[in-house]
Amino acid sequence: MRLDIVSLHPSMVEAFVREGVLWAAQQRGLIDVHTHDIRAFVQDAQGLADDRPFGGGAGMVMRPEPFARAVDALTREVGRKPYVVLLSAQGKLLTQDLARQMARQRALTLLCGRYEGVDERVTEGCDLELSIGDYVLAGGEVAASVVLECVARMVPGVVGRHASAATDSFYAGPLLGYPQYTRPRTFEGRGVPEVLLSGDHAKIRRWRAVQAWQKTLRNRPELLGLVSPRAELPKSATEGEV
């Protein structure tokens, strides 16, 4: 799978993809990651990738022409039009299912905005406008890194054992992952649940299923359709302690 990132700050993503699972997957030829500086596609005499917004307002808006030229150049290089995703706080929320669908694409291009955003005509030319959460970042580079790892994990062979990815939160539905334990058996007075030491795999599966449901109910009840999501800190993190 080919993955291209177009950004004002490509070095931010380059550092990320040269570590861990993503780097190992590249070394094994499972994914092919390329970063591109949007300035390379600017043909304005002043070399500007942004400009003041029509109608007034604060900040600068990234211009549409460099993004269009970048996608055209990548289409010629790859030999087919890639699936183009714009990282934006206004986009569809990233989910495991969306990541799985994007992982089926032969070529995926991620466009990173900056400043006050991008010209709406960039959005209109994309296949998907995507957000990693209901908050605002300075630019799309961090979001692109999140999407890269999330999508790459869905490419067959990237995660050493398929079972490792299959037990991730959200992989097979809305439930969060069950609690995990390893050595030591006792840590600061807290032990490992006895069921995990029993060797009874049927009981362990049932325990994990119950624990996953309880954790989802406690941390993300909206995933179960029980309540609307709420943005608040846990009670232990009161004002003055954060």
The total of structural domains in the chain comes to 2
Separation between Cα atoms, residue 137 and residue 146, nearest integer Å = 13
| Same domain for 140 and 20 | yes
In a domain, 186, yes or no: yes
The residue range of the domain holding 24 is: 2-152
Q: Is the pLDDT of residue 162 over 50?
A: no
| Same domain for 232 and 134 | no
Q: Is the pLDDT of residue 140 over 60?
A: yes
pLDDT at 235: 63
| Same domain for 193 and 116 | no
- Three-state DSSP class for residue 49: coil
pLDDT at 170: 53
In a domain, 180, yes or no: yes
Q: Is the pLDDT of residue 172 over 70?
A: no
| Same domain for 72 and 135 | yes
C-alpha torsion sign, points 231, 236, 241, 242: negative
The answer to whether 141 touches 88, Cβ cutoff 8 Å, is: no
Q: Is the pLDDT of residue 163 over 50?
A: no
The alpha-helical segments, DSSP class H, found in the chain are 10-17, 20-27, 64-78, 96-102, 120-124, 141-152, 162-166, 201-219
Which helix (H) or strand (E) covers residue 33, if one does?
strand 32-37
| Same domain for 123 and 6 | yes
| Same domain for 207 and 131 | no
Q: Per-residue confidence at 230, pLDDT binned at 50, 70, 90? A: low
| Same domain for 178 and 131 | no
Q: Is the pLDDT of residue 133 over 80?
A: yes
pLDDT at 232: 67
Which amino acid is present at 229?
P
Separation between Cα atoms, residue 139 and residue 49, nearest integer Å = 14
> Looking at the DSSP assignment, which residues form a beta bridge with residue 129?
86
**pTM reported for the whole predicted model:** 0.83
Q: Per-residue confidence at 46, pLDDT binned at 50, 70, 90? A: confident
163 or 84, which is more confident: 84
Q: Is the pLDDT of residue 173 over 80?
A: no
Rounded to the nearest angstrom, the gap between the alpha carbon of residue 69 and the centroid of all alpha carbons in its chain is 25
